[in-house]
Amino acid sequence: MTKKYNGEASGYPLREEGLRKRPRAGEILIQSILFFAGFFSIFTTLGIVYELGKEALLFFRTPEVKLWDFLTGTAWQPHINQFGILPLVTSTFITSAIAMTIAIPLGLAAAVYLSEYATEKVRKTLKPILEILAGIPTIVYGYFALMFVTPLLRSIFGRDVVEIYNMASGGLVMGILILPLVASMSEDALNAVPLALREAAYGLGATKLEVALKVVFPAALSGIAAAIIVGVSRAIGETMIVAVAVGAGPNFTFNPFRGAETMTGHIVRMSGGDLSYDSIDYNSIFAIGLMLFFITLTLNIISQRIVQRFREVYE
């Protein structure tokens, strides 16, 4: 080993000043490779933002498009110059809200169970299974929603109430998709709470439930909040499930049993057809993409704030 680190390997002669100052070629090489890896991911992000912005600008420059109408209009049909993005935004939020009402309670409960109650053996079995659930392709979830959850909903609420494509089934299945993500991230956060804290609480006579909910849970709150925000971002960005099960036409409605189209679903449908470049329809999908980008960016900023605000450091 020592031979490797003397001057011969890197091509520099040993100097008398000492070993520390001599440059190491391998080290520099590795460092620059790592730097480029980081640089490329940032560069790609910048490239995407640039491309999105450029194409979206083409859209907003079109004389028929007015920013106010874009943000407040309730009809989206670019082909006939209706540019109100609200129907797409509301359905995105409705499906995401439904998903989170499934994913947050179940995910957190699963996380508390895995971290505080499950024995080591059970935990080591259950967690990989939970992670496999997260690995199922979302198109499969989409057909699960369309072929299983929708008929189920229709048999419960009646065929005339629940349309064949509806936001509820897409949202529910999206919740199942996000559940393992929330559970796994929250479990990591709970697990990271130092054992000393728990032991101190037990020492004061706290029950297991009190330790879990009143000591460990608040201590891990920042991590849990981050998990939830990541889950919400995932729900908003989720595409295949909503494209398959939620519907294929913008529809300004707050009834979850009706068909509608989310922002991602609309982009998929529009780009799946043969849109000609430079048409208003084509440019409009970039405006939607930009909108999506801003929404998830805002969520990420909020999540960082939350993490900073609630972070509790135990050293």
Partner 1 sequence: MRKHLYVSLFVLLIAGLVLSACGAQTPAPTAAPTEAAATEAATEAPTEDPMAMYRPENVSGNIVTAGSSTVFPLSERMAQRFSEEGFTGNITIDSIGSGAGFERFCVNGETDISNSSRRIKDSEVESCRAIGREPLEFRVGTDALAVVVSRENDFVTDVTKEELAIIFSTAERWSDVRPEWPDQPILRFIPGTDSGTFDYFVEVVFNKDEAPILAASNLQLSEDDNVLVQGVLGSPYAIGFFGFAYYHENARQLQTVSINGIEPTEQTAEDGTYPLARPLFIYSTAQIMQEKPQVAAFIYFYLTNVNDEIIDVGYFPASQAALDEALNTWYTAVGLQP
Task: Note the residues at the interface with partner 1 (CB under 8 A).
Answer: 75, 77, 79-80, 82, 121, 124-125, 128-129, 146, 159-160, 163-165, 247-249, 251, 259, 269, 272-276, 281
Q: Helix, strand, coil proportions of the chain in percent (round to 5)?
A: 75, 0, 25
**Contact (Cβ atoms closer than 8 angstroms) between residue 186 and residue 108:** yes
CA 237, CA 171: separation in Å to the nearest integer? 12
Shortest spacing between CB 9 and partner 1, in angstroms = 38
Question: Tokens 């480029």 — which residue?
Answer: 36
Shorter beta-carbon distance to partner 1: residue 130 or 189: 130
Shortest spacing between CB 92 and partner 1, in angstroms = 17
Shorter beta-carbon distance to partner 1: residue 24 or 269: 269
Shortest spacing between CB 269 and partner 1, in angstroms = 7
Shorter beta-carbon distance to partner 1: residue 198 or 258: 258
- Pairing of the two strands 76-77 and 82-83: antiparallel
Shortest spacing between CB 40 and partner 1, in angstroms = 30
CA 186, CA 227: separation in Å to the nearest integer? 6
Shorter beta-carbon distance to partner 1: residue 34 or 147: 147
For residue 303, give both structure tokens. Answer: 């999540």
CA 260, CA 237: separation in Å to the nearest integer? 16
Shorter beta-carbon distance to partner 1: residue 166 or 303: 166
Shortest spacing between CB 33 and partner 1, in angstroms = 30
